[in-house]
Amino acid sequence: MPRVRDAYARKITGRKNVKGKSYTYEYYTMPLNLYLPKSMVERFGTSYEITINEDTGEILIKSKKAKM
């Protein structure tokens, strides 16, 4: 029996130092340590629906904006 839950993508800014230079980067994450591509968040927004099927081990992420 699949479980459905609502989730929102969070924007996280990372910092990294390489050979004395400091770099910053951005990425988007959701609960369950799921990462989203930046292009997906720019296109569909930050509101998603996660369907978890424990029998088959599948995790399906659907945008609420695309469903409308």
Domain segments of the chain: what residues?
A: 3-67
Identify the pLDDT of residue 68: 59
Residue 53 has φ and ψ, to the nearest 5°, of -105, 105
Dihedral sign for Cα 32, 35, 36, 38, please. Answer: positive
Separation of alpha carbons 51 and 59, rounded Å: 6
Mark residue 14 as left, alpha or beta (left: phi above 0; alpha: psi -120 to 50; beta: remaining). beta
Separation of alpha carbons 50 and 6, rounded Å: 6
What predicted TM-score, i.e. pTM, was given to this entire model?
Answer: 0.75
- Render each residue's pLDDT in the chain as its tens digit; 68 residues: 889 999 999 999 999 999 999 999 999 999 888 899 889 999 999 999 999 999 998 999 999 887 65
